Structure 1
Amino acid sequence: MAALNFVLSVSLLIAFGIRVGQADCPDEWVQYQGSCYFFVNNYTTWHGSSKYCQSQNAELVAVESQDENDFLLRYIHRFRCAFNSQFWLDATDMILEGVWEWAQSLEALTYFNWGPNEPNGQLNEDCIVVRDDNGEWNDISCTDRRYFICEKKNVPSSCVSDADQVIG
């Protein structure tokens, strides 16, 4: 009987096109591995970008793997005509020069994709951009203006229910 219930459940999920384990993203956001990304066509400072993302219940993107960096670069290339520039990441060394951490969590970066001779530690280059041509990272001044990407992490799918919810 349990096997029949399982088969029926899976059949219903397939019939209704429900994607278990994938994020439900707002319109115009892109889903990738449990997060939603929004490529913002607005040229602003790192602080302005971060503030905008927070207004969307998100943060500037925190790139944590080569796969994620490659995914972002593919989308940046799709929008090349609209953007053709660099994009802010959430990383900064504002607190301690040379110690890069994600601003949203204050966790040290465990993945880097620095370009040649980067970070170069020039005065006041405390924020990171990802380059649109090759996906490499560069440290620049946080007051420069760039495009940006917001990320909503670990967005549940509509199939995930609240553990405290009583049904029936």
Structure 2
Amino acid sequence: MRFLLVLFLLEACICAKGCEIGWIRFQSKCYMFSHTVATWAEAESLCSAFHSVLAEPRSHEESMFLISHSENEDIIEEDRWIYSSDQQPTKVNDFHASQPNQHTSANCVALWKPFHGHWADEPCTTRYNFICESPQESSGDVIG
């Protein structure tokens, strides 16, 4: 199964320290795994509505944790992969040996289970499940 990273959250309460209800903690981040599908743009909007971003794995360990999820884009320049939240180049190149496959329309990244946590480039218009991430500590605001 292939997933694009983002969150779909119907209701949640942010705790003073830790993760929102229904989110999963890994290292210093909290993740919400969607049960619905969306394009990259739709998923980004959903994450933003909940003060989070599409998950951006910055280590192989994080990629493995998010085994079926990931998003990056190379729209600005082919084969230059950046994180969408801060426009910084990815420091981790965790593509599967067969990826990226040089398709000019494949500007987003997905993690596929058969690739064992390694990245694959995919069109951003393809609908996948998604994951959002946020820092573990929050402001204590209530959402939902």
TM-score, reference length from structure 1? 0.68
Alignment of 1:19-58 (within 5 A): 24-58=18-52
Answer whether contact 1:93 1:127 (CA < 8 A) is retained: yes
Q: 2:109 aligns with which of 125, 128, 150?
A: 128
Cα distance in 1 for residues equivalent to 2:113 and 2:36: 15
Q: Which amino acid aligns with 1:105?
A: D
**Pair 1:90-2:71 in alignment:** yes
Q: Give the fraction of aligned pairs with identical amino acids, expressed as a percent.
A: 27
Shift of 1:56: 1.1
Answer whether contact 1:35 1:152 (CA < 8 A) is retained: yes
Task: List gaps (5 residues or longer) in structure 2.
Answer: 1-16, 140-144
TM-score, reference length from structure 2? 0.78
Cα distance in 1 for residues equivalent to 2:128 and 2:100: 18
Find the structure with the greater CA-based Rg.
1
Q: In structure 2, the residue corresponding to 1:146 is in which secondary structure?
A: coil
CA RMSD of aligned residues (A): 1.6
**Pair 1:60-2:42 in alignment:** no
Provide the residue aligned with 1:151 in structure 2: 133
Answer whether contact 2:66 2:111 (CA < 8 A) is retained: no
Provide the residue aligned with 1:105 in structure 2: 86
CA deviations 1:70-89 (Å, max 9, x no partner) are 2223xxxxxxxxxxxx53x2
Cα distance in 1 for residues equivalent to 2:80 and 2:61: 23
Q: In structure 1, the residue corresponding to 2:80 is in which secondary structure?
A: coil
Task: List gaps (5 residues or longer) in structure 1.
Answer: 1-22, 74-85, 159-168
Select the structure that is richer in helix: 1
Answer whether contact 2:78 2:104 (CA < 8 A) is retained: no
**Pair 1:70-2:64 in alignment:** yes
Give the 4+ runs in structure 1 shifted more than 3 A. none
Answer whether contact 1:50 1:90 (CA < 8 A) is retained: no
Cα distance in 2 for residues equivalent to 1:38 and 1:51: 14
Shift of 1:157: 6.9
Shift of 1:142: 0.4
Shift of 1:121: 1.5
Higher mean alpha-carbon deviation, 142-151 vs 130-139, is at 130-139
Q: Highest relative contact order (Cα 8 Å, sep 6+), 1 or 2?
A: 2
Provide the residue aligned with 1:115 in structure 2: 96
